[in-house]
Amino acid sequence: MGRRENLIDTPNKSLALLASWLRTTRREAGITYSQLAQRTPFSAATLARAASGQSVPKLEVVVAFAEGCGGDVSTAEYFWTRAFRDRVQVSDGRRQTRTVHISFVRDFSELHEAMLYLYRREGAPSYRELDSRARSRGERIPRSTLGRFLNRANVPSRGFVIAFSRACGVPDGEVEMWGQAWDRAKLPRRARPRIIGVDGGG
């Protein structure tokens, strides 16, 4: 069955549970990572990394892992969701952030967290890749604009939110939820950072 795996060592207890569940599921299936890779679109190294507990893997890797081992996919998704939710996200070196579902976003801070969650769930694609996806739809996500947004340097425009959500895989039928979240965030009449647009500008 291959060499002994390293101990799971992570401060994220939910991630440790996910990694442990993946390892147990593979052992119970009686297959190696190489054999599991033959049943999934992913390499043995990617699958082993998913069960290492070093970082939260992409959801599609976890689902493929479970399916390849004959494990319960809903259980895999449950463990992944907890691990992703509970991972430490320190934005300013002092506080831990909490992701709010897009339907309940009330201000730009929560909108930023929801968009950051979406970006990471997609696997944190490169700025070039996101702009390429947007261009295929006739939209733009300039890399400089994206960088400033991810670093909280600017508040996104509504068009940026829409283009970003589409580029991160949000289905067309759900994209307007992100636009509505922007509308809610804009309602409070208080001083806000300069709005940036989708077409570049800076």
pLDDT per residue, tens digit, the chain (202 aa), is 456 778 887 888 888 899 999 999 999 999 999 999 999 999 999 999 999 988 888 889 999 999 999 999 888 988 888 888 776 543 334 444 455 678 788 888 888 888 888 888 787 788 888 899 999 989 988 888 888 887 777 788 999 999 999 999 888 888 999 999 999 888 754 444 444 445 443 3
Query: What domain count does the chain have?
Result: 2
**pTM for the model:** 0.49
Which one-letter DSSP state was computed for residue 188?
S
Q: Same domain, yes or no, for 50 and 124?
A: no
Helix H or strand E encompassing 173? helix 172-186
Q: Same domain, yes or no, for 47 and 118?
A: no
Q: How far, in Å, CA of 160 to CA of 146, rounded?
A: 9
Q: How far, in Å, CA of 168 to CA of 174, rounded?
A: 12
Kindly state whether residue 19 falls inside one of the protein's structural domains: yes
Kindly state whether residue 143 falls inside one of the protein's structural domains: yes
Domain boundary among 86, 118, 133: 86
Kindly state whether residue 54 falls inside one of the protein's structural domains: yes
Q: Are the C-beta atoms of residues 132 and 166 closer than 8 Å to each other?
A: no
Kindly state whether residue 80 falls inside one of the protein's structural domains: yes
CA angle, residues 62, 65, 68, in degrees to nearest 5: 150
Q: What's the domain range around 141?
A: 102-196
pLDDT in tens, 38-59: 999 999 999 999 999 888 888 8
Domain boundary among 28, 51, 86: 86
Q: Same domain, yes or no, for 116 and 174?
A: yes
Domain boundary among 32, 54, 86: 86
Kindly state whether residue 202 falls inside one of the protein's structural domains: no
Kindly state whether residue 96 falls inside one of the protein's structural domains: no
